[in-house]
Structure 1
Amino acid sequence: MVKIEWINGTNISILIFFIGLYGLITRRNMVKSIISITVMQTGIILFFIDSNHQDPLSEALMITAIVIGVAVTAVALMIFIHLYHLYGTTNWKRLLQKRRRDL
């Protein structure tokens, strides 16, 4: 029987964070960028939950982080919809080029 000792909550949360960071760096699509930021936040929350602090303060902070993360994601998606209606693209680079032309 093979022991896999490196699979634990801390390592998985770090992996999830870096998957989100990779998606943020490599993708030019606005929706994928928003999703990547949400994935990064999920990795951070999992890391803090896995740290097993006995005080309720860390748990309360993580609940607060989840609520704030949902609100930030909703606002980011609303801004995306507005930008898409204005410029007609989901690509960050094209959006900046069209915006510079409009100024």
Structure 2
Amino acid sequence: MEWLGLYNYWVFAVLLMTGFCAVITKGNLIKKLLGLSIFQSAVFLLYISMGKVDGGTAPIFVNGASDQIFSNPLPQVLILTAIVVGISTTALGLAIVVRIKETYGSIEEHEIQAKDDQQ
């Protein structure tokens, strides 16, 4: 296989590392949530890329055709479910960040830890 022919896997790796780096290195809680969202999008891309079959068609049987190649629809179905779960998780995370901002007056991780240490 050509290395450039696997561009979707390269995009997956770059998105995955970008999201992971944002989660690990950023102190702002909103930036951490955005990093998690990017990380999650990379996983979606990986699953969809693995489900693609060259020359594959929808899994509908036709009489007399025995040499058909089918694409597996399961990865796409799982990703649709994961998108819904991801959106709801992100919404919950944003709601928690709003409550943290109301309680501590900041969404910076080091400031929140400093206020916790004072108490």
Q: Does 2:99 match 1:82? A: yes
Deviation at 1:100, TM superposition (A): 3.7
The TM-score normalised by the length of structure 1 is 0.87
Aligned partners of 1:14 and 1:47 also within 8 Å: no
Q: TM-score, normalised by structure 2?
A: 0.76
| Structure of higher RCO (CA pairs closer than 8 Å, 6+ residues apart) | 1
Question: Runs ≥4 in structure 1, deviation > 2 angstroms?
Answer: 99-102
- Number of residues paired by the alignment? 100
Identity %: 23
The structure-2 alpha-carbon separation of the partners of 1:35 and 1:25, relative to structure 1 and needing over 3 Å to count, comes to same
Question: Conserved in 2, the CA contact under 8 Å of 1:49 and 1:59?
Answer: yes
- Structure 2, unaligned stretches of length 5 or more? 54-70
Q: What is the alpha-carbon distance in structure 1 between the residues aligned to residue 3 and residue 78 of structure 2?
A: 31
RMSD: 1.8
Structure-1 separation of matches of 2:81 and 2:113: 33
Give unpaired runs (5+ residues) of structure 1. none
Query: Which structure would you say has the larger Rg?
Result: 2
